[in-house]
Amino acid sequence: MEYYNYIKSLHLIFVITWFAGLFYIPRLFVYHIEASQKPEPERSILIAQLKLMTLRLWKIITWPSAILASIFAFLLLYLMPFWLKQDWMLVKLGFVVLLYAYHIKCHFIYKDLQNDKIKWTSNQMRLWNEGSTMILFSVIFLVIVRDAVNWIYGVIALILLAVILMLGFKFYQRIRSKNSKA
């Protein structure tokens, strides 16, 4: 138990760097998709640079952070096995599974873009980018408030967050549309 706080600190550090990667990678995807619509030689120069940036972020930061965050999480669960009997932890682990699904889908998008296969629009990718935000909010509130908040209020808050994010996205689209016409 003397190493508990060190393990917890390392877990949190790698969770933060994992999320940083998951927040930034879709932005790079957006830039890549938009660069593919530029004229040459700008297109080739931008795409080459974005592929390199994406590769480095994905393979040097995001994937290693995901793996290390999980290793330290398993160590914490080994040290505190009673957590697995608590509802909040089971729900949190469900969100972690969802986070890995999001991460793996980002990996497929990454591979497609590295192979010059564009299947998403930049607006779809901007919307996709909000997935990790939703998961982060859910996990943080679960860990901090645990059983203090009724689950119904938690679900309502999550729906409200989704609505706010969607309204923000629509507002951004409107501003961007006006700027492109000007």
Tens of pLDDT, residues 42-73: 999 999 999 999 999 999 999 999 999 999 99
Number of domains in the chain: 1
- Residue 170 among known ligand-binding residues: no
Domain assignment present for 157? no
Domain assignment present for 159? no
Domain assignment present for 84? yes
- Residue 11 among known ligand-binding residues: yes
- 40, pLDDT greater than 70: yes
Domain assignment present for 120? yes
Give tens-digit pLDDT for 140-175. 877 887 765 566 677 777 778 878 888 887 787 788
179 exposure class (CB count in 10 Å sphere: 0-12, 13-18, 19+): exposed
Residue 116: which domain range?
4-148
**Cα gap 76→15, rounded to integer Å:** 13
**Cα gap 41→182, rounded to integer Å:** 25
